[in-house]
Amino acid sequence: MGRSRADACPGTLQTHDAADGPLARVRVPGGSVTSAQLRTLGAAARELGLDVIELTSRGNLQLRGVRDPAALAERVAAAGLLPSPAHERARNIVASPLGGRGRHGVLDTDPLVAELDRALCARPPLAGLPGRFLFALDDGTGDVASLGADLTLVPGGLLLAGARLDLPYDDPVPVLVAAAEAFLDVRGDAWRLAEVPGGARLVAERLGGTVADGPRVPEPPPPHAGIVEQRDGRVALEAVPPLGRMPGAQAEALAAIAPGVRVTPWRSVVIRDLTRADARHTAARLDAAGFATDPDSPWVGVTACTGSPGCARSQGDVQGEARRWVDGLEHAPRTPVHWAGCERRCGMPRGPVVLKTVGGPER
């Protein structure tokens, strides 16, 4: 099934005209953000927007109500977050936040993310990728393989919309780039590879390969906060900003605490390579800054769409309703809960979810 309208997915240069003003989305491939970049975005949220940074379901960051998009673009570019203006909306790359450090991680995805990002930006045709086209680099954990990306690299193979590519290769990045270019050849008006009839087969043929049934799509990881063991004896710390939103001052506080973070597709941030003592100290500082680092915090596993007044389609104040509901909890919900303001259910995570709608029944 193709699309009858152009892709209007926002970026930093092409903002979306939301009900509360221009919405700018900043791509951060692999979720990697330095402390300097966090400080830049935090100050920009306060000085140029509505003082909110949203973590997206693809591990990117977006600012709402941007009063001066041109000034924001200048700051984002100066921070190194806009290496190719032509490709800004094509740089949709998610990766396992631990980058191979976890118990089941076997693939170091960090250098692959950097190499893929450079390769994308070096190919002018790939600037034409729809803003919804997604690359995923899974370290063997299965966390980002659960996202249903268009192209997913897993240890030992490449998946085209879930179908396994049967084609030998030594370096996966040129194959990922070639597959993305092949998608442009066959896409028609489609935004995603899965929307193209026989799309995986058509792309594989252009690469000189075939496709077979891929592995079973893993379940999304359960919501989490707190310490995560690394295989090297160190630990990572995962922290949840309530409802995946940070005011500018909170982003700046995070920048003062961590030299860099990985933004996850489940709207948390991960700080890697800590000693256990450092992790406890960092958790205390993050808690004081308004993050949740306790695995049983009521904020863990609760998400919400923007709601009113930011979205004209919303039937009410989704953020407010969700916060009042969480205030009545003593611990994290057993099943993730998503609050939505209309039938589109924007931002709803994959996997088992309890859906709560403002003014509607629970599902």
| pLDDT value, residue 5 | 64
CA 44 remoteness from chain centre = 20
Contacts of 168 (CB under 8 A, 6+ apart): none
CA dist 68 to 8, 14, 44, 47, Å? 19, 13, 10, 10
| pLDDT value, residue 303 | 95
| pLDDT value, residue 8 | 78
Q: Say which CATH number the domain at 68 has.
A: 3.30.413
- In 243-321 the beta strands, taken as DSSP E runs, fall at 245-246, 260-263, 269-274, 302-304
Proportion of the chain above pLDDT 90, given as a percent: 89
Same domain, 258 and 326: no
Residue 169 falls inside a structural domain: yes
Condensed to tens digits (0 to 9), the pLDDT of residues 163-218 reads: 999 999 999 999 999 999 999 999 999 999 999 999 999 999 999 999 999 988 89
Least confident of 81-95, 326-340, 345-359: 345-359
Residue 295 falls inside a structural domain: no
Residue 21 falls inside a structural domain: yes
User: Which residue has tokens 């630990």?
Assistant: 235
Condensed to tens digits (0 to 9), the pLDDT of residues 112-134 reads: 999 999 999 999 999 999 999 99
Q: Is the pLDDT of residue 1 over 60?
A: no
Burial 3-25 (b: 16+ CB within 10 A, else e): eeeebeebbbbbbeebebbbbbb
Same domain, 126 and 247: no
Residue 218 falls inside a structural domain: no
Same domain, 206 and 320: no
Same domain, 307 and 268: no
| Cα–Cα distance, 309 to 29 (Å, whole number) | 29
| pLDDT value, residue 4 | 55
State how many domains the chain has: 3
Last residue in a domain, options 156, 183, 212: 212
Contacts of 79 (CB under 8 A, 6+ apart): 36, 37, 40, 41
Condensed to tens digits (0 to 9), the pLDDT of residues 262-295 reads: 999 999 999 999 999 999 999 999 999 999 999 9
Quickly count: other Cβ atoms within 10 Å of residue 348's Cβ: 17
| pLDDT value, residue 45 | 98
Same domain, 129 and 251: no
Last residue in a domain, options 188, 212, 236: 212
For 332, half-sphere exposure in the C-beta direction (CA atoms, 13 angstrom radius) is 22
CA 191 remoteness from chain centre = 18
Residue 130 falls inside a structural domain: yes
Same domain, 318 and 204: no
Contact criterion met (CB below 8 Å) for 333 and 341: no
Using the 8-state DSSP alphabet, how is residue 292 labeled? B
CA 324 remoteness from chain centre = 26
Tokens, residue 231: 């295989």
Residue 99 falls inside a structural domain: yes
Contacts of 278 (CB under 8 A, 6+ apart): none
| pLDDT value, residue 358 | 87
Q: Is the pLDDT of residue 339 over 90?
A: yes
| Cα–Cα distance, 142 to 215 (Å, whole number) | 11
Same domain, 205 and 262: no
Condensed to tens digits (0 to 9), the pLDDT of residues 220-263 reads: 999 999 999 999 999 999 999 999 999 999 999 999 999 999 99
Same domain, 200 and 94: yes
Residue 58 falls inside a structural domain: yes
Q: Is the pLDDT of residue 6 over 90?
A: no
CA dist 161 to 29, 94, 153, 185, 282, Å? 19, 15, 11, 16, 39
| pLDDT value, residue 363 | 61
Least confident of 237-251, 322-336, 337-351: 337-351
**pLDDT bucket at 29, cuts 50 / 70 / 90:** very high
Cis geometry, peptide bond prior to residue 309 (ω within 30 degrees of 0): yes
Q: Say which CATH number the domain at 261 has.
A: 3.90.480.10
* For residues 135-155, average pLDDT: 97
Residue 119 falls inside a structural domain: yes
Range of the domain at 342: 302-357
Condensed to tens digits (0 to 9), the pLDDT of residues 52-106 reads: 999 999 999 999 999 999 999 999 999 999 999 999 999 999 999 999 999 999 9
Last residue in a domain, options 186, 212, 238: 212
Same domain, 205 and 120: yes
Q: What is the pTM of this model?
A: 0.95
Same domain, 90 and 201: yes
Same domain, 169 and 255: no
* For residues 5-10, average pLDDT: 78
Q: Is the pLDDT of residue 359 over 70?
A: no
Same domain, 64 and 198: yes
Which three-class secondary structure state does DSSP give residue 210? Answer: strand
